Amino acid sequence: MYVCICKAVTDSEISRAVAGGVTTIDDLRACLSVGSGCGKCLDAAAAILRKQLDDQVGRQTPDGSRWGDIRSKLVLSGAA
């Protein structure tokens, strides 16, 4: 599904970006240019970002840590 019509960004692209390490809306903007046109997509993009990050909670990362641990640190630091 297209999330950002101006830049032709899909929810699948956002999911792949999160899997690649994107954790903030600013990261998404830098990576995919989402929201850099009219900006009306930012709420939907942020919701998809949050859902993807929440879905990763409890999954193990390649270095053996847990996504939940990383997510907790992001929330505590105000980054999420």
pLDDT, tens digit, for every residue of 23-46? 999 999 999 999 999 999 999 999
Q: In which domain, by residue range, is 23 found?
A: 2-77
Count structural domains, the chain. 1
Distance of CA 66 to the CA centre of its chain: 17
pLDDT of residue 55: 87
Q: What percent of the chain has pLDDT over 70?
A: 70
Mean pLDDT of 14-20: 93
CATH at residue 13: 1.10.10.1100
Mean pLDDT of 2-11: 96
